[in-house]
A and B are shown apart, each in its own frame.
Chain A
Amino acid sequence: MKKSLLGKTLAELEVVVKDLGMPAFTAKQIADWLYKKTISSIDDMQNISLQNREKLGEKFVAGFSNHTQVQASVDGTKKYLFAAQIKKFVEAAYIPEKTRATLCVSSQVGCKMGCLFCMTGKQGFQGNLSAGEIVNQILSLPEREKLTNIVYMGMGEPLDNTEEVLKSLEILTAPWGLAMSPRRITVSTIGILPGMTEFLEKSECHLAISLHTPFEEERKKLMPIQNIFPIKDIIENLKKYDWSKQRRVSMEYIMFKGLNDTEKHVRELSRLLSGIKCRLNLIKFHPIPDTPLLGSEPEVMEYFRDALSARGITSTIRRSRGEDIYAACGMLSTKSLTESKEQDF
């Protein structure tokens, strides 16, 4: 099978052209065609000689692929389904707002992390996306020209696929790539400490942590990762990092009725997060099938936000978008996975 050029960094393209005996500058030309002009075929790379295009075409394809399905909400939010590998699918959600348009991309097919509240977690893990498959969600988006922000909050745990995610971030931010500002990109993690450390070292993009409760025992029941990388260690590490250069860390907090929405949680959150400049995003929970969890009432969310803000933690309630098509992240792709078979264990 031919390999994709899409997803290769400039350094990797330089190796490709060298191996094929082409001039070194061809690598930059290919990057231009892939990431700036988004051509669909190697044949369209007009400033590369026909002979060299043929050489490239013998081993590679451009690697773009269009979405296979789309669901549109009345509020303009759209959920796209992209094919990844064989018979596997991932979702990308396009969220237009007044002053910006955000794309929420996936980094894995399924996920290994098994968070109790997550539909993708229920799907198990089918594989890592390559940098090309991640970048394709952005470049093949019909609304691509309107995009202002990208968040890695779709299917999968980005920092369980650190190598490919970092490559995709390089492509999105490098001058030879999409040249986006890293301040327009946020990578969200449940707190995989080694991956997070590497990400903070090697990238300039914003970070979001899925916090969901400040209490260790409670978090263990929601998120198995807590057994391995406790949230207090994650926060301690974040406190050591220099956040003064416009790079941001934010906390994601899905609100579960009666579980993590009490006064006790406000107090513990302000203790845990003291000394770290961050925003807390409060998120409405959309129940998934067979879940024992319920979402907090809107007035409880408002009370929680105000109580946190009074303690100096900037908190906002994230506006729910695409509720009519919401059906939880991972639902669309899970339906498309009917052929997946029972694992032997």
Chain B
Amino acid sequence: MIKKIIISNTEIAGSVYVLSFKRDFEFLPGQVIGISNHLQEAPRLYSIASGNTEDVIRILYDIKEGGQLTPWLAKRKANDSIFITNASGNFISEMNEDACWIASGTGIAPFASMFFSGNYNNKLLIHGGKFLESFYFGNEFREKLGKNYVRCCTRETGDGVFEGRLTHYLKEKDDLNPAHKYYLCGSAEMVVETRDILLLKGISFGNIVGEIYF
């Protein structure tokens, strides 16, 4: 593991933070790094949420109550240090391929990395969140993706926001293209339920790739 100095650690929504540190390694958008508070402690995995040509690496995380790392991480300030592992993982969506990206909560992070790396043509992004503030990086997505950026909110209502779970949105949607690829990222429940819906709608399992935040 390598020591990194935190540049910023900002609460962007209730108990949700964006942490950044200087980028001095290459990665593929969609990859993860391990983060730990001590060299001896087993690292937890986090998707990189920043673009692959940016000067910094950004991580989007929420506090898990009773968790070993995240309550500690949320208290770190600029110039504090953390330990990270090399970037790894194969959750990769090709540049310009026709794809639907589906995320819940902080599961938006790998798609944010792809997006900030310039990979947003031919993409439909569907994001599920509990509150209106849960649509992290929403302004940037809306600006470039327009109507191809769909927000599904379970506990609040808002302009242009679908009311309910993203699974309900997908059930109602009848124009899913079976030739496109479907990338799913977030909790096990979301990935499994969404995959079942897509299968029922005639999408082949060969076109569905999931990443679960276990």
Contact = CB atoms under 8 A, between A and B. Distances in A.
B192 A228 contact: no
A147 interface: no
A325 interface: no
A114 B166 contact: no
Nearest to A194: B42
A221 B130 contact: no
A227 interface: yes
Given A290-B200, A343-B187, A345-B186, A221 B209 contact: yes
Contacts of B166: 345
A297 B62 CA distance: 47
B45 A116 contact: no
Given A344-B154, A345-B154, A345-B186, A121 B208 contact: no
B128 interface: yes
Contact of A220 (B90, B129, B189): B90
Contacts of A228: 32, 45, 88-91, 211
Q: Is the interface of A mostly helix, strand, loop or mixed?
A: loop
B105 interface: yes
Contacts of B154: 344-345
Most chain B C-beta atoms within 10 Å of own C-beta, residue among A112, A125, A224: A224
B199 A112 contact: no
A122 interface: yes
Contacts of A290: 196, 199-200
B37 interface: no
A344 B90 contact: no
Contacts of A173: none
B212 A112 contact: yes
Contacts of B211: 224, 227-228
A230 B200 CA distance: 28
A295 interface: no
A2 to B, nearest CB: 21
Contact of A344 (B45, B155, B200): B155
B16 to A, nearest CB: 14
B50 to A, nearest CB: 19
Interface string B163-198: 001100000000000000000001111111001100
A175 B13 CA distance: 52
Interface in A314-345: 342-345
Contacts of A292: 199, 204-205
Nearest to A122: B192
Interface string B145-167: 00000000011000000000110
Contact of B105 (A114, A216, A342, A345): A345
A160 B154 CA distance: 29
Interface string B65-97: 000000000000000000000001111000000
A226 interface: yes
Contacts of B90: 216, 220, 226-228, 230
B206 interface: yes
Nearest to B130: A344
B212 A113 contact: yes
B25 interface: no
Contacts of A160: 214
B104 interface: yes
Contacts of B210: 114, 224, 227
B192 A221 contact: no
A121 B192 contact: yes
Nearest to B190: A345
Contacts of B189: 124-125, 343, 345
A225 B89 CA distance: 10
A216 B91 CA distance: 12
> 7 closest Cβ contacts across the A-B interface?
A112-B214, A345-B104, A112-B188, A124-B189, A224-B210, A227-B91, A343-B189
28 contacts: A111-B188, A112-B188, A114-B195, A114-B212, A116-B195, A121-B188, A124-B192, A125-B188, A194-B42, A221-B208, A224-B209, A227-B90, A227-B209, A227-B211, A228-B88, A228-B211, A290-B196, A290-B199, A292-B199, A343-B189, A344-B154, A344-B155, A345-B105, A345-B128, A345-B130, A345-B166, A345-B186, A345-B189
Interface of B: 32, 42, 45, 88-91, 104-105, 128-130, 154-155, 165-166, 186-192, 195-196, 199-200, 204-206, 208-212, 214
